[in-house]
Amino acid sequence: GFILDKPIVASALEQRRDAPVFLIDIAVPRNVAPDVNDLEDAYLYDVDDLQSVAADNLRETQIQSQQRFAEVDEPEDEDMSQMLTQQFIDGAEAAPRIVDVEDTAS
């Protein structure tokens, strides 16, 4: 069974004078009954919902990143392109040094 079911959440909503309640169920197996989401002012999210939102955000970030790099590739942005390329190279050169520092600290 579920720890929180529809009647329990409905009772809590009444006591809260129908103030909305957001429930995030990250347990596997689930602790909150899925039909809780049918209640007005009850909003239930689970791990699958959170993974979906994270995947959507990642896709959007990748699209925006590609668009920005496409804009940088335009001739009038050559200085910006060179600067970004140098920052990438500098970051790549710093990575082994960061690992060395982390290894030394361990």
pLDDT mean across residues, the chain: 80
Given this model, what pLDDT does residue 69 score?
74
Residue with tokens 């082994």: 96
Percentage of residues in the chain having pLDDT higher than 90:
39
Is the pLDDT at 106 greater than 70? The verdict is: no
Given this model, what pLDDT does residue 68 score?
78
Q: pTM here?
A: 0.53
pLDDT, tens digit, 9 for 90 and up, residues 13-32: 999 987 999 999 999 899 99
pLDDT, tens digit, 9 for 90 and up, residues 30-74: 999 999 999 999 999 998 888 888 888 888 888 888 877 776 655
Beta-strand pair 42-46/21-25: parallel
Query: What does the alpha-carbon distance between residue 66 and residue 64 come to, in Å, rounded to a whole number?
Result: 5
Q: Pinpoint the alpha helices (H) of 6-77.
A: 6-15, 47-72
